[in-house]
Amino acid sequence: MPDLPFGFSAGDDPERDKRNKDDDAGSGSGADPFGGAFGGGAFPGGGEFDMSQLGQIFTKLGEMFSGAGTTMAGGPGSGPVNYDLARQLASSSIGFVAPVPEKTSTAVADAVHLAETWLDGATALPAGTTKAVAWTPTDWIDNTLDTWKRLCDPVAEQISTVWAQALPEEAKAMAGPLLSMMSQMGGMAFGSQLGQALGKLSKEVLTSTDIGLPLGPKGIAALMPEAVEALSEGLEQPRSEIITFLAAREAAHHRLFSHVPWLSAQLLNAVEAFAKGTKIDMSGIEEFARGFNPASLTDPSEMEQLLNQGIFEPKATPEQTAALERLETLLALIEGWVQTVVSDALGDRIPGTSALSEMLRRRRATGGPAEQTFATLVGLELRPRKMREAAVLWLRVTEAVGADARDAVWQHPDLLPSASDLDEPAAFIDRLIGGDTSDIDNAIEQALGEADAGEGGGESGEDGTGRP
Q: What is the pLDDT of residue 157?
A: 78
SS3 310: coil
Weakest mean pLDDT among 222-231, 269-278, 378-387? 378-387
Q: What is the pLDDT of residue 322?
A: 82
Instruction: Name the more confident of 465 and 247.
Output: 247
Residue 445 — very low, low, confident or very high, per pLDDT cuts 50/70/90? Answer: low
Residue type, 161: T
In a domain, 303, yes or no: yes
- As a whole number of angstroms, the distance between CA 224 and CA 322 comes to 34
Please write the tens of the pLDDT for every residue from 392-435.
999 999 999 999 999 999 999 989 999 899 988 999 998 888 76
Say how far residue 430 (Cα) sits from the centre of its chain: 35
In a domain, 450, yes or no: no
H-only helix segments in 218-292:
225-232, 239-259, 263-276, 282-291
Weakest mean pLDDT among 49-58, 168-177, 265-274, 351-360? 49-58
Q: What is the pLDDT of residue 372?
A: 64
In a domain, 368, yes or no: yes
The span from the first CA to the last CA of the chain, in angstroms, equals 28
Total domains in the chain come to 1
Q: What is the pLDDT of residue 158?
A: 72
Residue 384 — very low, low, confident or very high, per pLDDT cuts 50/70/90? Answer: low
In a domain, 185, yes or no: yes
Please write the tens of the pLDDT for every residue from 57-76.
445 444 544 444 444 444 44
CA nearest neighbour of 40 among 205, 203, 227, 155: 203
CA nearest neighbour of 391 among 331, 462, 436: 331
Instruction: Name the more confident of 290 and 147.
Output: 147
Whole-number average pLDDT of the chain: 74
In a domain, 468, yes or no: no
For the cut 90, the answer to whether the pLDDT of residue 101 exceeds it is: yes
In a domain, 184, yes or no: yes
State the average pLDDT over residues 441-457.
52
Instruction: Name the more confident of 352 and 367.
Output: 352
The boundaries of the domain holding residue 243 are 92-324+363-385
State the average pLDDT over residues 99-124.
96
**Cβ atoms < 10 Å from Cβ of 437:** 12
**How would you classify the pairing of strands 220-223 and 131-134?**
parallel
Please write the tens of the pLDDT for every residue from 178-217.
666 666 666 777 888 888 888 988 998 999 998 888 899 9
In a domain, 254, yes or no: yes
Residue 376 — very low, low, confident or very high, per pLDDT cuts 50/70/90? Answer: low
State the average pLDDT over residues 114-134.
96
How far apart, in Å, are the Cα atoms of 302 and each of 110, 211, 247, 299, 460? 59, 39, 52, 5, 50
Q: What is the pLDDT of residue 388?
A: 87
In a domain, 203, yes or no: yes
**Cβ atoms < 10 Å from Cβ of 434:** 8
